[in-house]
Amino acid sequence: MSLALLWVFLPLVAVAWGQYGGYGYPYQQYHDYSDDAWVNLNRQGFSYQCPHGQVVVAVRSIFSKKEGSDRQWNYACMPTSQSLGEPTECWWEEINRAGMEWYQTCSNNGLVAGFQSRYFESVLDREWQFYCCRYSKRCPYSCWMTTEYPGHYGEDMDMVSYDYDYYMRGATTTFSAVERDRQWKFIMCRMTNYDCEFANV
């Protein structure tokens, strides 16, 4: 009986340690890339949202050519600074179609708080949507793009934002029709500590 309880609680302890160890915020540290570390299986759709008041700060992914040239994904969230307050509204952005390059930031000066995706066998690619949250009338500034993730098509991807003053506002992606994979550049911005009059910067 005690061995059975050990097998029940051991995964829970491992997940708790992974969520709160290492970086000091809830980022799951899975080095074995087992199935339970990902929000999706290959060729499956998924919808991921951060808890209320948190935004995406890390994106991890592995690529599998033999599984439909698809990726498995994992995300980590972190609460925004107290100066931003609570989100005043959240929504799903427009869909970015599979097989195409695209650039998108959250409308209404929103921050990325989740991802939704569906896989299409016909193009061996995914469509994407951002889940965005707006914080009062705060505006982005000092925006920049990360380097490409992954560095080369087909490689593992591990993007972590170590600068807690910057928040993810969107991304631009390129799609390789040969490799059937994407490279991402994430758009990171600071947010004003005061309300501004611009509806969408």
Looking at 21-25, 126-130, 170-174, 187-191, which range is the least confident one? Answer: 21-25
pLDDT at 36: 55
Instruction: State pTM to two decimals.
Output: 0.80
Q: Write out pLDDT tens, residues 117-150.
A: 999 999 999 999 999 999 988 999 999 999 999 9
Could you give the percent of the chain with pLDDT greater than 90? 73
Q: Write out pLDDT tens, residues 91-123.
A: 999 999 999 999 999 999 999 999 999 999 999
- 33 or 122: which leads in pLDDT: 122
CA–CA separation, 116 and 149 (whole Å): 18
pLDDT at 167: 97
Sheet with 157-160: list strands edge to edge.
Answer: 70-79, 54-64, 157-160
201 pLDDT exceeds 50?
A: yes
CA–CA separation, 80 and 180 (whole Å): 35
**Mean pLDDT taken over the chain:** 84
Region 38-60 average pLDDT: 96
**Which band of pLDDT confidence, cut at 50, 70 and 90, is reported for residue 19?**
very low
Which tokens go with 130?
Answer: 């951002």
**Which band of pLDDT confidence, cut at 50, 70 and 90, is reported for residue 187?**
very high
pLDDT at 8: 40
Q: Which residues contact 172 (CB under 8 A, 6 or more apart)?
A: 101, 102, 103, 104, 145, 184, 185, 187
- 16 or 104: which leads in pLDDT: 104
pLDDT at 189: 97
Residues found in the chain: 201
Region 74-81 average pLDDT: 95
Contact at 8 Å (CB) between 169 and 93?
no
171 pLDDT exceeds 90?
A: yes
- 136 or 190: which leads in pLDDT: 190
User: Phi and psi of 82, rounded to 5°?
Assistant: -60, -25
Residue 160 neighbours by CB distance under 10 Å: 12
